[in-house]
Structure 1
Amino acid sequence: MPSLRLLAVSAAFLGLYFVLRLELHTGAKTAIQKHAPGLLSVLNSPVTTEQGTQQVFTSSSRQPFTRHIVAVGDLHGDILNAQTVLQFSGVVDAFGNWTGDADFFVQTGDIIDRGDDTIKLFSWMEQLRVQAAATGGVVLSHLGNHEVMNAIGDWRYVYPSEINTFGSVAARQKMISTGRIGRAWAQNYTATSRLPLHPHLGDPNTPFPPEDHPVYFRREDDPDDDDSLYYDAKEPLSHSALSFVHGGLSPTYGNLAPFPTKINDLASSFLHKLQHRAQPPPHPPHKYPGLPQGTTREEAELYDANGPFWYRGWATDSDAKVCVDVEKVLARTGTRRMIMGHTPDFTGIVSRCNGKIIIIDTGISHAYGGALSALSIHYTFTPVGENEQGEPIWTEREVVSALYVDRQDIIVDEERQAVGDFRMV
């Protein structure tokens, strides 16, 4: 026997028959929206029959999609300024609790050093991580060069007053190795992230190129360009993603792909070796302890000046150089923009190459006295009709803004069109 839902759908269609005949010139969907908008939700829902579940109508896959991302750079031991920034950017309320206004909050490393609030800041980040998850939000945290320095035993920027908040040098060593902070680094912090703007690309840090793709993409219009290997005309959203890292993804760094999997696997193994060796006496006053025994060549390259924790070329090189180099890195990482901290500009967030490079370290900590700032990205994906082949057309829009205590500066406001059916969840 037919299900009650199937009977209801059939009756609804009969009831609308004569109305639709009178309004064929407007299209059936328009008439349904006008006379029985509630019917669309019935038509879009699965119908159970003796043969199983079937999708009666497909317009549900053409609903608008939005995503809001907030990113903050180096905090360096200052919880009061950090709370101010996260509050005016809408991430937290006046009590420091997750608001749900952002889908993703991203912090690009260097929470530690130059201030006394290490324990408070890392504890707060873990609290926000739990609160965000409870509402469907996500906190993405990154290791900066200062986190790794402290794990190595390089304590040149550790204040004596900050050590006192742990109780002793030994207590601090334990806390950042196998203790509460160290476990948070190992479990919840990565060296870099690839954050899709659209769910069609999967979850954060889904590898690019896709693991199930046997070869890299190639653009037919430019077969001799190595960078074109990473693009595919059949996948128009393939690069609808952002990369986040502390220092920068150098164009000559050798472990970009698959991104971000390769870098993060190296960072995880390197951090494990640092945290689980016998902790050396910190430098200063003792000698620099160096990298742990068993460090591989690739792990050493991860931590050198050309690696993602230290690289500064995107901030210091000329426009002529970086605006060429950035295209190579964006192609290989499956992203549209690189967002990083590490190199401070105390006047505000720096955008280069039409927003393809964004540097968000503005010296938030009172140790610097720079600008209190956050980066906000509003992404929308809106259906706008169909082409002659009946394929859905969408408009992608990214509005990237620098937020300050007293103003908002728009860095990028870009639109693109995409054609096809895309996974929305």
Structure 2
Amino acid sequence: MKKIIGSFLLALLALNGFAQGINDGPYAKYAGDSTKVMSVVSGKAVIQSFASDKKTQREIEVNFDGHSDWDFKVPLRLELKVEASEYVQPEKLFIVSDIEGEFEGFRRLLIANKVINEKYQWTFGRGHLVICGDLFDRGLSVPESIWLIYKLEDLARAAGGYVHTILGNHDIMNLSGDLRYVQQKYIESAKILGVDYLSLYGTDAELGRWLRTKNTIEKIGDNLCMHAGVSPIINSLGLSVADINRLCRPYYDKVKVLKGVGDAKIDPFFKGESSLFWYRGYFFDPKATEAEVSETLRVFGVQRIVAGHTIVPENIAFYYEGKVLGIDVNRHAGDHQAALFEGGKWYKVNDKGESKEL
């Protein structure tokens, strides 16, 4: 019994020490006419409140322990709008996926390839930055990464560029309550703040509202961009990207949506290995046939499919005679790469600024 009690006390002490070292946030939540900005600093809750004003744009700070040179400020939007589903072909594209809270590598990748500079100013001109899903889980800087993307949206638009954020399975999991892959840090952080974890991305939270404006699939010029892929089942439905996004959006935060909601019109998009969020048929058996991939291009009127979700050693690379571009790499192992389209050519680039034509 003494050994059990001793082990329990040691576990409590370890957990307490872990909590004391947590730095997390910020999170912005709304209640009536007030806005609450919450952070965890050295294991303690720091909460600020101010009156919400639809005419006054407030700024919040994103800070990094031990890396003050990474700090930045973010103006909260006065209005959030649902994203369009189709876009004309931009002159430049920079496409990544599966950031999963790896802020440092993501930041370094953007700077090395002149998408932004070290002061977080947009330097990509009229180019488009595309994130093909999975902002959440595993990494230790999830909200910080999301706030950076949020910030860059405004800066890109002001320069004639654009930032696209397309949702992945881990994003839907965090909105719908499937927390299997959430770092313990974030669960403890929510406890310190005295809130339920899901509420940090709920409908009364700025990042939660923002995520709900995002799409599951987009057509950007000649490119069909999504998180995982388009299976033959999705092809057979004959829907446009706008139709798919319209059908899917109301279900982002439905409990266990990725396991199905019992609606034959909705489940194909979320449930199972043939869904937009889980499909791996371009890379793993049973593999898609050339005809099935070509059918996707025909249905959606594009020249190529851009997909993350599945890490294979060859990525970033083309498959199916250039019809599929695989972009997922192991960022948690320090592999930070992206696909760049510029001057009519495709390149794979890394966080050292090196590039290789595909």
- The alignment's TM-score, normalised by the length of structure 1, stands at 0.58
What secondary structure does 1:243 align onto?
strand
- Is 1:347–1:371's contact at 8 Å kept on the other side of the alignment? no
2-structure distance, mates of 1:169, 1:195: 41
Give the alignment partner of residue 374 of structure 1, picking from 338, 344, 351: 338
Alpha-carbon offset, residue 251 of structure 1: 2.3
Please name the residue that 1:19 is paired with.
none
Alpha-carbon offset, residue 102 of structure 1: 5.1
Please name the residue that 2:224 is paired with.
243
295 and 102 in structure 1: CA distance in 2 versus 1, 3 angstrom threshold: farther
Give the alignment partner of residue 265 of structure 1, picking from 240, 246, 249: 246
Matches within 5 A, 1:26-425: 67-101=91-125, 103-166=127-190, 167-168=192-193, 170-178=195-203, 179-187=205-213, 189-196=214-221, 241-254=222-235, 257-271=238-252, 274=254, 296-304=263-271, 305-317=273-285, 321-346=288-313, 348-364=315-331, 366=332, 369-379=333-343, 398-406=344-352, 407-411=354-358
Deviations along 1:240-274, one digit per CA (max 9) or x if unpaired, are x1010001011232565442112111221212x52
Deviations along 1:349-379, one digit per CA (max 9) or x if unpaired, are 1311232101101012x3xx05210111125
1-structure distance, mates of 2:101, 2:119: 19
2-structure distance, mates of 1:290, 1:131: 34
266 and 78 in structure 1: CA distance in 2 versus 1, 3 angstrom threshold: same
- Select between 293-302 and 330-339 the one with higher mean Cα deviation: 293-302
2-structure distance, mates of 1:136, 1:325: 36
2-structure distance, mates of 1:171, 1:297: 32
165 and 130 in structure 1: CA distance in 2 versus 1, 3 angstrom threshold: farther
Please name the residue that 2:26 is paired with.
none
- Is 1:192–1:264's contact at 8 Å kept on the other side of the alignment? yes
1-structure distance, mates of 2:90, 2:132: 23
Unaligned runs of 5+ in 1: 1-64, 197-240, 275-279, 281-288, 380-397, 412-425
- Is 1:341–1:359's contact at 8 Å kept on the other side of the alignment? yes
Number of residue-to-residue matches in the alignment: 266
1-structure distance, mates of 2:309, 2:347: 19
- Is 1:348–1:371's contact at 8 Å kept on the other side of the alignment? no
340 and 292 in structure 1: CA distance in 2 versus 1, 3 angstrom threshold: closer
1-structure distance, mates of 2:210, 2:317: 30
1-structure distance, mates of 2:114, 2:307: 20
- Is 1:255–1:263's contact at 8 Å kept on the other side of the alignment? no
Alpha-carbon offset, residue 95 of structure 1: 2.2
Larger Rg: 1
1-structure distance, mates of 2:275, 2:163: 24
Alpha-carbon offset, residue 292 of structure 1: 10
Deviations along 1:123-179, one digit per CA (max 9) or x if unpaired, are 111100011111111111111000111122110101111233444583421121211
356 and 176 in structure 1: CA distance in 2 versus 1, 3 angstrom threshold: same
Question: What's the RMSD between the two structures over aligned residues?
Answer: 2.5
- The alignment's TM-score, normalised by the length of structure 2, stands at 0.68
89 and 267 in structure 1: CA distance in 2 versus 1, 3 angstrom threshold: farther
Alpha-carbon offset, residue 186 of structure 1: 1.2
- Is 1:103–1:138's contact at 8 Å kept on the other side of the alignment? yes
- Is 1:270–1:295's contact at 8 Å kept on the other side of the alignment? no
What secondary structure does 2:342 align onto?
strand
2-structure distance, mates of 1:353, 1:291: 28
2-structure distance, mates of 1:66, 1:292: 36
